[in-house]
Structure 1
Amino acid sequence: MPAHHHEHIQAAIDMLSSLEGDTNESGLQNSIRDVAARGRTLVLHVRAQNAGVLVTAASDGHIRFDTFELSATNKAVVGTKGRLLRSFPGAPVSIPATKMEEETFREAVAQALSSLSSQTVASVQRTAVKSGKTHVEMRDSCDPSMISEVLVNFLSAHGQPADSPQITKCTRDEVLWNYSLYPWHRSPRWLLIRVALHLTLRRATGSDALYKQAMLFVTSCMLQTAVVNLPSDVASRKDPFHRDMLHAMVAKIDWRLKKLGAMVETRIENHVQKVIDNAMSILKGAWTSVQTADARRLNMQSLRELDFNRDVNVAYPDLEKFLSSIGRRTSQSNQGTSKPSSGLLPLSSDVLPQLSFNAGFTMLNLINFENWVAAHSRKWVDTHWDEADACRQVETTMTRYHDLAVKSCADNPELLSAMHLTMAELWTALDIAATHKLPRLKLYAPAISYHPLESLLLPTKSQMHRLRKVEEYLALRKAGASRPWSKLYHDIENNESFAVQYFDQDSTLQRELDSIKKSATTARAQRVSELGNLKTKFQTLMQYVDTHECEEYEVTVRRYQRT
């Protein structure tokens, strides 16, 4: 790498070397003191808590603690489709360097980390219910809350939260049991190394380029080591595992190299390409050996003894009898009465199809109907617009087609796009018929827009031509309209609204309005007269009540006397 990266790379090497340090209390105290005094970075694998801790000396005179979980839970791994996306680190904490210089504080931190590295805590272990009792599920990963919560809360009391852009790792983890007590997981230590290396190099350089090149170089060195230490029989058929593993390593490294592209330094790219070429030469040699071992030697000399004239003349006496008997057969015809009916929709260029057919032929009939609309809808409306129910026929057909197509094409975007295109063509036919009957409608802009049609998925050229015709028609209608579409359906108090103008020119509707007004006036007069009579009767009864007194009668009913 260029010289300006050497310092960052050496710091990363020193950090990873700290993984091999002592995890006892005294060793951790010394390591933490080095972080504060020398500006080093310490990475810890708190194995018993399934956690990683990254201790870094920041440039602002603080010590930064990053914590994160290593192995994911079995539920998270099994319940995820594809790769499991995980973000690192958790909630970072920043401690003043002066606080870390206090021996008692360092002792407390070192003692906590040393104890948690080797001792499990029952309260954070996963549990399972077996035979009605709760047991510790030792086959699942441990909850790292003793690090991510307890330790972080303790550190937060002496420091403050720190800002930390997170990194995302796509982990292709598995949970596998194969006649074993514990399940197989990807190495948590390898994840710890990658996360620590990624965070350290990213914070030092401000980008992921250096980390990605470092991982590319490291994996190519692994491949180089694998090539050097291959067994002598790698090219034979007795040891296919090594060839498969070698091919997988080459594929992964080559894909990583292609993804990085121009980001890779030339010397690293040359090194990686050389390693890949060496591995591929071994694989090609192994494949050649397999082909050679599996080769077949054919005896071509026997073909010289073939006599085609003799070999193709084969006697089949039974076949000859059968063929000669065909000419002596007598014809026998049995005419049945069955006349099966077709389930396909009958179509004619001058008849609007009626969408009523057998449910088993729905999709085929819908396709045939869409083809009819594309080919004959304009011609049909030009010859039938003057019929009294032409608009009603088109509207009914549109409603029926939409109900059927939505159910049949709900999960297919291309079929739904074809449905919307057909609906637009039917609306065009309906608009042509309506504007022929009522030319005044052309003054009002249509209420639909052609812009949503631009999002349709139309795979064929003919469909694009149909869409262009619809868009051209809508553009001409809007260009020829002088009034907005809102006056077509609303603003009935406005003189420019379609309802008002249609009423003004229709004498039948005017006579109907006059008739309604006369009937309403007559009914109102009758109700007013009825109301007057009731008021008069009410006043008469009230006067009768005011001028009379109550009279008492004594009535005997059986043995009971009631007054």
Structure 2
Amino acid sequence: MTLQYKITHVFCPLQLPDGDDHSHSNDLALSEALCHSASSYYRHLDNPIKGHWKCVEKLLHNLYEATRLEQLEETLVSSQLESMAVGDVVAYLIRAQNAAVVFRRGAEETIAESFEVSPTVAAVMSSCDKLVCSYPGPAIAVPNVVFGDAVFRLELAHFLCEMNKDNLDAAPTTRKAGTTVSETRDTVHPRYITELLTGILRAVGRPADVQRINKRIGDDVVWRNSHLPWRRSSLWLIIRVVLQTTLARNGLGVDVYKAFVLFFMNGLAGEAVGHGMSDDVLHWISAKLSRRLMKLGESAPNWLSAYRAVGVYKHSKAVV
């Protein structure tokens, strides 16, 4: 079931589930798979790049550690923030607030970024194509003198952990039988992170001018005879956004990001073949991988092109 979840949310095939398939074990499996893939990818890199990639490995490992518990734990968050060195990045999914928080350690300042992780149902359903979203949202630079204070870190960790589990009044509402009720099938407004936390940090920092990216978000809202609709994984979105922005800022660029995503997806494709998934799913996977390799073009590493060529042959043979 965890493999089915990873394939569904990473490749987004035509046949999607009729309702919500999120679970803690599924998030943990996705995070763990990315950690293993990042470690394997490291062995293929040239020496000048390996130093920068260590930051990515640490980022994914910290995210996996935070995901291991069903709720964020204050001691863990505070410890991760304290152990950040210059160039390190940590990210957290604040699920109850439909938001992500990213911290980037610099030589003199730590930049705190936040953004919404799941667009509203109206935004997704009204779009004829993929949504184009800009990431991250607001960014605040906090001096390391302040960020290094133990009391500040503990209060920040406490705030994030409480926001991760508290259902506040940011949920949308609807009218049923003449009564206003919460619309649990829609996403909540991330204001308590993107606005409240941003305002708190601005009191001790300043607005930061950071490099932003635009992403075409492939999401959907599928609902039939279920309590909640199917929505694409928030964790998968956070990982892609943080990886792309981090690699763009440390000089590796978007091509390294795209190559790693292709490497990760190819590993999932091998698992799908090994577990005998249906032919239509394998065909969809193969088409997705081929398109990504084509978009990379000559910037794709030779070893990855050869690795992918073997994969396409195996998948096509399995479909036939």
Matched, 1:49 2:97: yes
Matches within 5 A, 1:63-212: 63-122=110-169, 124-205=170-251, 207-212=253-258
Which of 282, 286, 290 matches 1:246?
Answer: 282
* Aligned residue identity for 1:223: A
* Unaligned segments of structure 1, at least 5 residues: 232-241, 285-563
Q: 1:61 aligns with which of 108, 111, 114?
A: 108
1:393 matched to which residue of 2? none
SS at match of 1:65: strand
Checking the alignment, whether the CA contact within 8 Å between 2:55 and 2:87 is kept in structure 1 is no
Assess if the C-alpha contact under 8 Å between 1:19 and 1:43 holds in 2: yes
Q: Secondary structure at the match of 1:208?
A: helix
Offset from partner CA, 1:456-481 (integer Å, 9 cap, x none): xxxxxxxxxxxxxxxxxxxxxxxxxx
Shift of 1:218: 0.8
Deviations 1:211-267 (CA, angstroms, capped at 9, x unpaired): 011111111111112122226xxxxxxxxxx10000000001001101110011111
Taking the aligned partners of 1:53 and 1:175, their CA distance within structure 2 comes to: 24
2:58 is aligned to 14
2:77 matches 1:31: no
Letter paired with 1:188: S
SS of the equivalent of 2:310 reads helix
Residue 281 (structure 1) aligned with residue 290 (structure 2): no
Percent identity reads 29
Deviation at 1:178, TM superposition (A): 0.9
- SS state of the match for residue 93, structure 1? strand
Where does residue 420 of structure 1 map in the other structure? none
Partner of 2:115, secondary structure, is strand
Instruction: Find the counterpart in structure 1 of residue 296 from structure 2.
Output: 260
Larger Rg: 1
Q: Which amino acid aligns with 2:300?
A: V
In structure 1, distance between residues paired with 2:245 and 2:86: 19
Contact 1:53 1:66 in 2 (8 A): yes
Q: Return the alpha-carbon distance in structure 1 between the equivalents of residues 310 and 143 of structure 2.
A: 48
After TM superposition, what 4+ stretches of structure 1 lie above 3 angstroms from structure 2?
A: none
Alignment of 1:81-480 (within 5 A): 81-122=128-169, 124-205=170-251, 207-230=253-276, 242-284=278-320
- The residue number in structure 1 matching 2:48 is 4
CA-CA distance at 1:206 after TM superposition: 5.5
* Matched letter for residue 236 of structure 2: W
Q: Secondary structure at the match of 1:205?
A: coil
| CA displacement at 1:40 relative to structure 2 | 2.4
User: What is the CA-CA distance between 1:10 and the residue it aligns to?
Assistant: 2.1
Distance (whole Å) between structure 2 residues aligned to residue 7 and residue 230 of structure 1? 38
Q: Residues of 2 paired with 1:175 and 1:250: CA distance?
A: 24
Unaligned runs of 5+ in 2: 1-44, 67-71
Amino acid in structure 2 at the alignment position of 1:257: L
Cα deviation digits, residues 465-504 of structure 1 (max 9, x gap): xxxxxxxxxxxxxxxxxxxxxxxxxxxxxxxxxxxxxxxx
Structure 2 CA distance for aligned equivalents of residues 197 and 206 of structure 1: 11
Distance in structure 2 (CA, Å) of the matches to 1:87 and 1:194:
13
- Counterpart of 1:255 in structure 2: which amino acid? R
The one-letter amino acid paired with 2:152 is F
Q: Deviations along 1:340-382, whole A, 9 cap, x unmatched?
A: xxxxxxxxxxxxxxxxxxxxxxxxxxxxxxxxxxxxxxxxxxx
Q: Deviations over 1:325-352 (max 9, x none)?
A: xxxxxxxxxxxxxxxxxxxxxxxxxxxx
CA distance in 2, matches of 1:172, 1:230: 26
SS of match in other structure, 2:230: coil
Look up the equivalent residue of 1:185 and give its one-letter code: R
Secondary structure of residue in 1 paired with 2:111 = strand
Cα deviation for residue 120 of structure 1 reads: 1.3
Q: Distance in 2 between matches of 1:253 and 1:104?
A: 47
Cα displacement (A) at 1:8: 2.1
Q: Which has the higher contact order (CA 8 A, sep 6+)?
A: 2
Q: Given residue 193 of structure 2, which amino acid in structure 1 is its aligned partner?
A: I
Question: More strand by proportion, 1 or 2?
Answer: 2
- Contact 1:44–1:54 (8 Å) recurs in 2: yes
Contact 2:113–2:137 under 8 Å retained in 1? yes
Letter paired with 2:256: L
> How far is the alpha carbon of 1:204 from its aligned partner?
1.1
CA contact (8 A) 1:34 1:40 kept: no
The 2-side partners of 1:81 and 1:45 are apart by 28
Q: CA deviation at 1:21?
A: 2.5
> What is the number of equivalent residue pairs in this alignment?
271
Q: TM-score, normalised by structure 1?
A: 0.47
Hey, what's the Cα distance between the residues in 2 that align with 1:226 and 1:3? Answer: 32
User: Mean alpha-carbon deviation: is it higher for 3-12 or for 41-50?
Assistant: 3-12
- 1:295 is matched with none
Matches of 2:65 and 2:315, distance apart in 1: 35
**Structure with the higher fraction of residues in helix conformation:** 1
* C-alpha contact (below 8 Å) 2:49/2:252 kept by paired residues: no
Within 2, Cα distance between the matches of 1:279 and 1:175? 29
